[in-house]
A and B are shown apart, each in its own frame.
Chain A
Amino acid sequence: MSALLLTPMGFFSLFAIFGIGAFGALMLRKFDTAANWWGNIFAILGSLLGIAFGIAALTSISTFSFAITTASFPIHFPFQILSFSVDKLSALFIIIISAISLLSSIYAIGYVKHFYRRYNIGTLGFFYNLFIAGMLLVVSSANALLFLLAWEAMSLTTYFLVAYERAEKKSVDAGLLYFSMMQAGTACIALLFMVFYHFAGSFEFSAMQTAAQHIPILWQTVIFILAIIGFGMKAGIVPLHIWLPAAHPAAPSHVSALMSGVMIKTGIYMLIRILIGFFPAQPIWWGLTITGIGAISAVLGVLYALTEHDLKRLLAYHSIENIGIILLGLGSALTFSALHLPALAALALTASLFHTINHATFKSLLFLGAGSVITQTHTGNIEEYGGLWKKMPQTALFFLIGSMAISALPPFNGFFSEWLTYQSLFAGIGTASFATILVSMVSAGALALTGGLALACFVKAFGITFLARPRSEHAEHAHESALSMRLGMALIAGATLVLGISSGYIVGILQTISKPFFAFAETVPTTLLTASPQTISIQDGLSSSVSGSTLAVALIGMIFLTALFTLYGIYRKQHVTIGRTWDCGSTATPRMEITATGFSRTIVTIFKTVLRPRMQTSAGTVTLSVADLSRVYIYQPTSSLSIVIATQVKKIQNGTINTYLMYTAVALLLGLLFSNLL
């Protein structure tokens, strides 16, 4: 089976399926239902093959790689760019991308129905399939030029998906913001590869890896900064994050699930690939910088999420928070690598990879849940929800599971990766480098604060949406969503629990990915992190262990016993009356319930120096608005500055062709002069 899959043929058939799905959906664009089924069925088939391919590549001993050279190709190309490589890291990402695509596509069959006769279903299927194929190509290309093409394909297709609801001005604006930021990011990545090309003389990743250690320190720094900006833009680190809260709510929900759950992780993938994979010895400040960025992103992400009333924007800010948590692990890994502590570096990278998987599952689950709610209530504003548990109990249950997983509550998966992240930060406090101690300690505090605030935020997001009484007409008339949507959500919800219970097993697999990255200083073979199927344990320095299965059994068992004891153990003749909520003698109306604004008001007030809230009161309504500070202090000044410059530059453009010819001549002359001087 794996011999059949791990061939160029098997690899290309993966893309062929998505291609058939894409172009078939485009051809069927006149028939909504057919286009919907065609596009999603092929996405499902492709994803299934992708999962099989990823598992085969992960379990195979050697790295699967091949290149199509000019000799084997009947047409001549100036650059040989078609080289592919699927190592264990790529295989992991292929599995994540395929698995989430699979479940999102199942969900999409029911979800896309509400676009019928309003938007073109064929183009949705077209871009959706190409988007998944683009992501798969990004993580499997081994050549910088091929990578850039795939990266652009991924960005472009998502632009069309973000701006899909083109009748909404919000979507078009979000698409434009997303597009321009992605172009800026890609420009940095292109520059980065040019720097590499200068030293490696080739666009092949393997050549870059060999050349990386001979790159002068100055240029290494340039590469690091370009990587942080270029890939950080995609990942959504603060302050390069502002496209996320705009683009995720605008895109259709199954696409936001993929974008937030999977696509932003390709930025993380490339950071691991380049910073850890290419460079054998990193300066210590790289790791500390990334840890610092992670801590800031985590805290600011969750604080902005708390102030949000739009369900999908709230989730988008949580993606920023979780990318921050992933970067805490990644930064610690780089730091330990710089300090020549391979076992700890492997631990931290494992934490980072595990959180990447976990965030992919629970964040896509939450976005799919949000999609169900929004299609029923026709609004993203959580102030207008309320009481949805009674209208859509299954969606509510899945959203609750997602909320618990993202809040790192045991026994769901989020807890175990956060536990590993905490342990890597604790290990950082145990090192001899003072800077590392300080950064790790502040980050551990930031992670604790983030965890607490995320819990508060999901009490808000879940409680205000699904509990109490409906606060609007739409919420009152909501119904449970379609079967395929519930099926997609149920499968991911199950995955969050299974990943949590089998966390020991997963960590064991992830170690085989993370350990080879730090094989450089294996003088003393330290096995710091051991994982049996039941338990993850850490020895040396600070020892500890957590067990996914015991936590699950203990919690579920105790809940069961408590319920059994109270219901049947004592006084079985108890009489239960259904009554009204105590309302101090007045009549309790939905207006008396707590709102999302009211809920987060205390926290916003406490953090007012960071958030700068503005409060407006008008007859009976209080609006508490928080502007994203990076938007106010970075993006708006940049935008107005570029407009000022453009107005000045406009002066030299008088529209006469003679003048332009003169400009060209002068430029040429100056260029010649300059090259002579050099």
Chain B
Amino acid sequence: MIPYFYLIAQALLIPALSPVCIGIIRKIKALMQNRRGPSIFQPYRDIYKLLHKDEIISADATPIFLIAPYIVFATTLVVAMSIPLLGTFLPTIGTSDIIAVMYILALGTFFLALAGIDIGGPFGGFGASREMTISALAEGGLLFSLFALARMYGTTDLLAMPQALITMPTNVSIMLVTALSFFGFSVALLAENARYPFDNPATHLELTMMHEAMIIEYSGKRLALMEWAAANKLFIFITLGANLFFPWGIATTTNILAVILSLGIFFIKMTGFCIAIALIESTIAKLRLFRLPNLLLLSCIASGIAIILTTLIA
């Protein structure tokens, strides 16, 4: 019973914690630009503010536009119950397979893109086109990187992966596989979450914007949900990266103290990821759209090599 309680706790904890991720990244970026920047809790205030604002909806909008925010947000909640954040003991309820998680997130992307087209503005449509292009090409790298891990752990179930970890030896070849697939995963993380070098999350007025272009017509509560869902998605990817590739400090028993301690360690890892993302965004330029496929192919190839290495180990 207790493991199920933790699973439900995750569905509440991830949306509760995700805005801080965005806050940390923004803070570090501000510091790198010699600004003081807003507090790391500013995203919470933004979401709270938006939830209390009135809304303008385009006359062209169909029910797709109206329900898309709920679906996009809900998909992140279902995935939140399918990833190993709190410990190795989480029970699998049949939603935590790597393919299942990828396609649940794809369900959100599908409605996000449709909502972009729905209002008939020129921005939304092109945002949707670019988003679908990038996510189609990123899928291979994401699948291969997670599958390389699955080969090592002997399961494609994300929740079951950390359980297999305890008995796994640490040697050079396993570290090599982890490193290669982690590279593949990081590229997919940046692509799926519309970060540099794929997209600029800080601007609304760049002709190349993707994610912001699709949600440009949203306001009020629905905008809050869209922004919040994006934060959730980033948090989910960081959790996967932190707990599957660097599974140190993950709780192995349902003891509440162990869980809190492991959550503390997770925060350190998460901050590491946020610093890395902020560093990338402060030091490199956004790539041209037609250069992105090369990067995504590279992520796919790196993870592919990792998979071949796992067959050599076995």
Q: Which residues of A contact B (CB under 8 A)?
A: 386-387, 389-390, 396, 400, 404, 407-410, 415, 418-419, 422-423, 426, 429-430, 437, 441, 444-445, 448-449, 451-453, 455-456, 458-460, 462-464, 466-469, 534-535, 541-548, 550-551, 554-555, 558-559, 561-563, 566-567, 570-571, 574-583, 588, 590, 592-594, 598-603, 605-606
Contact = CB atoms under 8 A, between A and B. Distances in A.
A603 B51 CA distance: 36
A173 B253 CA distance: 69
Contacts of B137: 449, 452, 606
A545 B97 contact: yes
Given A409-B110, A410-B100, A468-B60, 5 more contacts: A387-B60, A468-B117, A570-B221, A580-B58, A606-B137
Interface residues of B, number: 86
B95 A550 contact: yes
A599 B74 CA distance: 27
A410 B103 CA distance: 7
Contact of B157 (A543, A559, A599): A543
Interface of B: 11, 51-60, 62-64, 67, 69-71, 73-75, 77-78, 81, 92-95, 97, 99-100, 103-104, 106-107, 109-110, 113-114, 117-122, 124-126, 128-130, 132-133, 135-140, 142-144, 147, 150-151, 154-157, 160, 216-217, 220-222, 224-225, 289-290, 293, 300, 304, 307-308, 311, 314
A632 B208 CA distance: 35
Contacts of A387: 60, 120
B126 to A, nearest CB: 6
Contacts of B117: 459, 463-464, 467-468, 593-594
B77 A409 contact: no
Contact of A410 (B74, B104, B147, B154): B104
Contacts of B138: 452
B74 A545 contact: no
21 contacts: A419-B99, A422-B99, A429-B311, A448-B139, A452-B140, A467-B62, A544-B97, A544-B160, A550-B94, A555-B107, A558-B74, A559-B71, A561-B74, A570-B51, A576-B56, A577-B54, A577-B57, A579-B57, A581-B58, A594-B128, A606-B133
A578 B54 CA distance: 11
Contacts of A430: 151, 311, 314
Nearest to A538: B156
8 interchain residue pairs of minimum CB distance: A547-B94, A594-B125, A452-B136, A468-B120, A456-B132, A558-B74, A463-B117, A452-B139
A548 to B, nearest CB: 8
B151 A469 contact: no
A51 to B, nearest CB: 30
A594 B109 CA distance: 18
Nearest to A608: B290
A606 B290 contact: yes
Nearest to A464: B117
A574 B56 CA distance: 11
Contacts of A550: 93-95
A555 B74 contact: yes
B26 to A, nearest CB: 24
Contacts of A390: 62
Nearest to B311: A437
A559 B57 contact: no
A437 B217 CA distance: 47
A462 to B, nearest CB: 7
A563 B221 CA distance: 10
- Main secondary structure on B side of the interface with A: helix
B75 A555 contact: yes
Contacts of B106: 407, 409, 451-452, 455
Given A419-B99, A453-B136, A467-B117, A574 B55 contact: yes
A566 B70 contact: yes
Contacts of B132: 452, 455-456, 459-460, 603
Contact of B133 (A444, A456, A544): A456
A541 B164 CA distance: 13
B118 A545 contact: no
B59 A451 contact: no
A581 B117 CA distance: 11
B154 A599 contact: no
A563 B67 contact: yes
Contact of A562 (B70, B107, B109, B304): B70
Given A409-B106, A547-B95, A551-B100, A588 B290 contact: no
A588 B217 CA distance: 13
A505 to B, nearest CB: 14
Given A426-B156, A576-B55, A577-B57, A551 B120 contact: no
A582 B143 contact: no
A441 B92 CA distance: 27
Contact of B125 (A415, A418, A546, A598): A598
A415 B97 CA distance: 12
Contacts of A547: 93-95
B221 to A, nearest CB: 5
Given A449-B137, A588-B121, A601-B129, A566 B221 contact: yes
B295 to A, nearest CB: 12
A146 B63 CA distance: 53
A467 B54 contact: no
A598 B114 contact: no
A464 B64 CA distance: 13
Nearest to A457: B132
A400 B110 CA distance: 11
Given A550-B93, A576-B54, A581 B121 contact: yes
A578 B59 contact: yes
B220 A574 contact: yes
A390 B156 CA distance: 42
Given A390-B62, A407-B106, A543-B155, A592 B118 contact: no
A143 B73 CA distance: 56
A566 B78 CA distance: 17
Nearest to A408: B103
B100 A546 contact: yes
Contacts of B130: 602
A577 B126 CA distance: 25
A603 B289 CA distance: 11
B236 to A, nearest CB: 14
Contacts of A577: 54-57
A446 B184 CA distance: 17
Contact of B57 (A409, A570, A578): A578
Contacts of B216: 582
A467 B58 contact: no
B77 A558 contact: yes
B77 A594 contact: no
Nearest to B222: A566
Contact of A455 (B95, B136, B220, B293): B136
B235 to A, nearest CB: 16
B140 A409 contact: no
Contacts of B59: 578-581
Interface centre among B103, B142, B289, B304 (most CB of A within 10 A): B103
Given A469-B60, A543-B157, A463 B118 contact: yes
Contacts of A575: 54-55
Nearest to B115: A467
Nearest to A593: B120
Contacts of A546: 94-95, 97, 99-100
A581 B139 contact: no
B75, B109, B132 interface centre (most CB from chain A within 10 Å): B132
A452 B135 contact: yes
Contacts of A422: 99
B73 to A, nearest CB: 5
A500 to B, nearest CB: 12
Given A448-B140, A599-B125, A581 B120 contact: yes
A255 B56 CA distance: 45
Nearest to A467: B118
